[in-house]
Amino acid sequence: MPVFDNKIALVSASSSGIGRAVSKVLAEDGCRLHIFSRSEGRVSAVAREIERTTGRSVNYSHGDMTSLPDMERVVSEVHSVTGDVSFLVINYGDPKIAPFLDISGSDWDSAINMFLRTSVHLVRSFLPWMLENGGRIIFVTSLTTKQPMKGFALSASLRSAVVSLSKVLSLEYSSHNVTFNSISQGFFETPRLRGVAERNAATGKVSIDEAYRRMRDDIPAGRFGNPEEIGHLVSFLCSDRASYINGTNIQIDGGFTRFPF
């Protein structure tokens, strides 16, 4: 039986990988969806696929998370086409992976817009209604918030800022039946993983298969994650069963992160 009775969920960066999987699981669990990504063709195809496989209504927009005008338009479309959002799942695109000195000022500007300015704009757009009616806000970050790695200066610094923002929001608004949590995900079978493997292969002068093997061997679970496993975690955090989980950052990484707290 569906967990949710036509609650509206907005999921960002949802045309592939983690965002696509989260959207699919939420629809399977009874949500009506509004999804968006910067590629109109890809996000429309995902919307139709989820409608076909789950029978749930899926609206979509296209918009670049590094562009505030795009985000203003997406928010307007959500309000006018879909309705009041109970579950806001802020997933992100992939920032540049490179040594610090190879990251340009424009790279930083784009990443700051995506992680911080868009997060702030989306929360400010949907939180007022939630304060009257309850809701869930979930930020999908990465293991770099707890275990930074070479080449991940953008991800480690800005995703960590998102985790801190989530905590502050939970302190300020926890009395309104709104929860704020973040997820630090590890290595999952997504296009992003392929990009990391290709970079590791090039820098380590090994084959792609060897790069995958080395990453997999570092995971105590001995495997990469299935993106829908993140979807099930998000669905749980949106449910009434998780109403006392608030202001926390949850690792889902097969045991990869060594820091115990």
Question: Looking at this protein, which amino acid is placed at residue 131?
Answer: L
Which residues fall within 8 angstroms of residue 20, CB to CB, at 6 or more apart?
14, 46, 227
Query: Which tokens go with 139?
Result: 């930020």
Predicted pLDDT at 2: 58
Given a contact cutoff of 8 angstroms between Cβ atoms, the answer to whether 170 and 119 are in contact is no
Which residue, 155, 153, 161, 152, is CA-closest to 116? 161
Phi first, then psi: what are they for 260, rounded to 5°?
A: -85, -5
What residues form DSSP beta bridges with 90? 139
Which residues fall within 8 angstroms of residue 203, CB to CB, at 6 or more apart?
none
Predicted pLDDT at 3: 84
pLDDT digits 0-9 by tens, 40-67: 999 999 999 999 999 998 999 999 999 9
pLDDT digits 0-9 by tens, 237-247: 999 999 999 99
Query: Which tokens go with 14?
Result: 């949802």
Predicted pLDDT at 24: 97
Q: Model pTM greater than 0.75?
A: yes
Q: Residue-wise pLDDT tens for the chain (261 aa)?
A: 458 988 999 999 999 999 999 999 999 999 999 999 999 999 999 999 999 999 998 999 999 999 999 999 999 999 999 999 999 999 999 899 999 999 999 999 999 999 999 999 999 999 999 999 999 999 999 999 999 999 999 999 999 999 999 999 999 999 999 999 999 999 999 988 888 888 888 888 999 999 999 999 999 999 999 999 999 999 999 999 999 999 999 999 999 998 877
Question: Looking at this protein, which amino acid is placed at residue 130?
Answer: M
Give the other-Cβ count within 10 Å of 258's Cβ: 9
Give the per-residue SS3 of the chain.
CCCCCCCEEEEECCCCHHHHHHHHHHHHCCCEEEEEECCHHHHHHHHHHHHHHHCCCEEEEECCCCCHHHHHHHHHHHHHHHCCCCEEEECCCCCCCECHHHCCHHHHHHHHHHHHHHHHHHHHHHHHHHHHHCEEEEEEEEHHHCCCCCCEHHHHHHHHHHHHHHHHHHHHHHHHCEEEEEEEECCECCHHHHHHHHHHHHHHCCCHHHHHHHHHHCCCCCCCECHHHHHHHHHHHHCHHHCCCCCCEEEECCCCCCCCC
Which residues fall within 8 angstroms of residue 106, CB to CB, at 6 or more apart?
none
The structural domains of the chain, ordered by start, are: 8-186+227-251 (3.40.50.720), 190-224 (no CATH)
